[in-house]
């Protein structure tokens, strides 16, 4: 079974600083990987996804993630944090279940951005 580990349940950065949220996955097949963001009292919004091809994936709101097969990682970065980036971030891997897809989520990382 596939799994996702997000290192650091809480990350705090200053406004304008680099954001780095870590995600490692376990998969026996080439993975499909996703990052979602959840703002308070809202649903999940897709930031970006990796399926095949280019290993550096650009998403919305200035975020990007790099797929590194050798490290089984898919870390999320943003060069300069904004106050509006404060939210919960979830990394997920898509697992094949009898030919159908289900998302396996990490435990989430809460990002706090302070002035």
Partner 1 sequence: DTAVSQTPKYLVTQMGNDKSIKCEQNLGHDTMYWYKQDSKKFLKIMFSYNNKELIINETVPNRFSPKSPDKAHLNLHINSLELGDSAVYFCASSQGSGSSYEQYFGPGTRLTVT
**Binder of partner 1 out of 46, 60, 83, 112 (CB under 8 A):** 46
C-alpha distances (whole Å) from 29 to each of 26, 48, 55, 67 are 9, 20, 16, 14
**Binder of partner 1 out of 55, 82, 97, 114 (CB under 8 A):** 97
CB of 40 vs partner 1, minimal distance in Å:
11
3-class state of residue 61 by DSSP: helix
CB of 107 vs partner 1, minimal distance in Å:
6
Beta-bridge partner residues of 89: 37, 109
22-41 residues near partner 1, rule: CB under 8 A: 32, 34, 36, 38, 41
Nearest to 113 by CA among 18, 5, 45: 18
User: Which positions lie near partner 1, rule CB under 8 A?
Assistant: 32, 34, 36, 38, 41-46, 49, 51, 88, 90, 94-103, 105, 107-108
């Amino acid at each position: 079974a596939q799994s996702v580990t997000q290192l650091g349940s809480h990350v705090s950065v200053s406004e304008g600083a680099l954001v780095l949220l870590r995600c490692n996955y376990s998969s026996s097949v080439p993975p499909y990987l996703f990052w979602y963001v959840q703002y308070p009292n809202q649903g999940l919004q897709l930031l970006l996804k990796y399926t095949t091809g280019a290993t550096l994936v650009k998403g919305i709101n200035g975020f990007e993630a790099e797929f590194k097969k050798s490290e089984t990682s898919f870390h999320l970065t943003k060069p300069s944090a904004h106050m509006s980036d404060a939210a919960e971030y979830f990394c997920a891997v898509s697992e094949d279940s009898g030919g159908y897809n289900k998302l396996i989520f990490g435990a989430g990382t809460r990002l706090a951005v302070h002035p």
